[in-house]
């Protein structure tokens, strides 16, 4: 079992309740990363489902969860031969922090009937760059759990050269060797810096709503993350992320709505 598997483990209490322990290693300056929290939620949902893959997940982030003990409470809404729909709530200290609706199914290894190309071409990985390590006092522990190497223009905001449009692109894998799976994909769709940074925004940009789809089971190797947005307005922005595996297959898609950060 890897560190990520341990950090997202869900222990069955009864058929509708799972104990979890939210890991301090996935902090983004205090609050925990939303993709990590989705992975925790999905461990419980899949464990209680007759189907093994979370094909679509929609969550509302009610408040910022912190490290420590918590529970996932489940309500199975419908189950059938091909899919099961479950309502899942992450509860900490008696309060709900995430509300989610998850559909599980069982994916095979079918050849796509049709597939598009990535929306933007990425440079070779050797031409990409990493973000500088965060200062210890920042409590940005998430960075140590994964490797992200960026298409250089999309992190020009670091030295005052944002591209002027909401975008972020990077190659992704966990820091500890582990083949990607649906739980790693849940982390990956929320692993990029907020795309609003590249449009000139700064500060913590809390996600309010995030929906993502598992389109195929990923092959081993680096994942490619391509993020972009369509509108920044009145303190809100959207962010879409495509995830492509090492064979060039689209394996996940996400869309989120978030607040523009202050700072």
pLDDT, tens digit, 9 for 90 and up, residues 108-164: 888 888 888 898 999 999 999 999 888 877 888 999 999 999 999 999 999 999 999
State both tokens at 123: 């440079």
Nearest one of 118, 130, 119, 142 to 170, comparing CA atoms: 130
Query: Cα–Cα distance between 153 and 158 in angstroms, integer?
Result: 10
pLDDT confidence of residue 116:
84
From the number of C-beta atoms within 10 Å of its C-beta (0-12, 13-18, 19+), residue 151 rates as buried
Q: Where are the beta strands (DSSP E) in 113-160?
A: 146-150
SS3 readout for 102-121: EEEECCCCCCCCCCCCCCCC
Query: Cα–Cα distance between 63 and 37 in angstroms, integer?
Result: 12
Q: Which residue has the higher pLDDT, 260 or 114?
A: 260
Give residue 263's pLDDT band: very low, low, confident or very high (50, 70, 90): low
* DSSP three-state, residue 59: strand
Lowest-pLDDT range of 18-32, 133-147, 180-194: 133-147
φ/ψ (deg, to 5) at 185: -65, -35
Query: Cα–Cα distance between 192 and 235 in angstroms, integer?
Result: 20
From the number of C-beta atoms within 10 Å of its C-beta (0-12, 13-18, 19+), residue 91 rates as middle
Q: CA-based diameter of the chain, in Å?
A: 53
- Note whether 166 and 215 are within 8 A (CB): no
- Note whether 171 and 148 are within 8 A (CB): yes
- Note whether 219 and 249 are within 8 A (CB): yes
């Amino acid at each position: 079992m890897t560190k990520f598997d341990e950090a997202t483990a869900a222990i069955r209490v009864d058929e509708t309740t799972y104990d979890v322990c939210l890991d301090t290693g996935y902090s983004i300056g205090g609050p925990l990363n939303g993709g990590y929290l989705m992975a925790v939620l999905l461990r419980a949902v899949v464990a209680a489902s007759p189907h093994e893959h979370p094909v679509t997940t929609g969550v509302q982030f009610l408040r910022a969860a912190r490290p420590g003990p918590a529970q996932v409470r489940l309500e199975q809404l419908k189950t059938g031969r091909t899919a099961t729909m479950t309502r899942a709530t992450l509860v900490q200290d008696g309060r709900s922090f995430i509300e989610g609706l998850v559909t599980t199914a069982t994916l095979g290894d079918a050849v796509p009937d049709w597939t598009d190309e990535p929306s933007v071409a990425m440079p070779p990985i050797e031409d990409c760059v990493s973000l500088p390590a965060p200062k210890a006092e920042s409590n940005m522990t998430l960075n140590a759990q994964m490797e992200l190497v960026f298409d250089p223009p999309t992190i020009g905001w670091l030295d005052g050269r944002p591209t002027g449009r909401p975008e972020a692109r990077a190659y992704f894998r966990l820091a500890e060797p582990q083949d990607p799976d649906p739980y790693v994909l849940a982390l990956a769709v929320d692993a990029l810096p907020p795309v609003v940074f590249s449009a000139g925004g700064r500060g913590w940009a809390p996600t309010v709503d995030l929906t993502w789809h598992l389109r195929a089971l990923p092959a081993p190797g680096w994942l490619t993350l391509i993020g972009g947005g369509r509108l920044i307005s009145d303190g809100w922005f959207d962010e879409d992320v495509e995830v492509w595996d090492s064979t060039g297959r689209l394996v996940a898609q996400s869309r989120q709505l978030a607040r523009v950060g202050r700072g």
